[in-house]
Structure 1
Amino acid sequence: MKKSSKFLPVIGWSMWFSEFLFLERKWAKDESTLKAGLRRLKDYPQPFLMALYVEGTRFTNAKLLAAQEYASSTGLPVPRNVLIPRTKGFVTSVREMRSFAPAIMDMTVAIPKDSTPTMLRLFKGQSSVVRLFHRYVFFFFTM
């Protein structure tokens, strides 16, 4: 999670007590934080779920346009509905967890614009719709 989110009353504090990793989006600082946090999971006494948002940001038309321009300039497939993933954190996570995580699932989270979760919706007791698209499962077998 973004480091500043841990200061949000109730929600941020809950994330902190739930041992979320808070990052600054500066790889020089975040690399050691990420590696240390992932190493703590190795001896975690219960099965765990870790969500890693490799796009690292909210989707906007301006960010989509920038991703499309980047893809065109580097010969990557031009995305229509998603951003270009940032891979440093993902690759580091796989390297750190490969010896103890049995699998990685690749999922896309999609939230309709008319159902975006907000604090106001939460306080009003309104529900939000979240769609998950499951694409791949990578299994690691350690010997």
Structure 2
Amino acid sequence: MGHGGNVIDELVTDHHEVEELFGKIEALAPGEKNRKVYADQVTMELIRHSVAEEEYLYPAVREHLVNGNTMADREIEDHSTAEQLMKDLERCEADDPEFDRLIGELMSEVRSHIAEEEETLFPQLRVACSEKELNDLG
């Protein structure tokens, strides 16, 4: 976060940054040392992003959306799954066979989470909140 604009725009920018790092990982051959460097960058970005969502976004979701508690709980559960994958990934080097499995799972989990937010959660929040509320959250 910190790109300027409303909370949704900020989070979408974060999503693009994470996807760019995933693309860099996917472009490298298995075992390439820079895959670990990019995976570490993804981890830092995702942790920062998750903290921001849990501190600002999900309380707003709970407050403004009819099914907000259920949606926020599901998103937080996704974070928990991704956090465990990142912890497991942290113990692996790029040439460890487990690295490829874990980074693949992490990418799948995060991409699914992003799609859910951008296709369902964010549009509902845009309808439920004023532009000022979204800017204040951002």
- How does the TM-score come out when normalised to structure 1? 0.26
TM-score (norm 2): 0.27
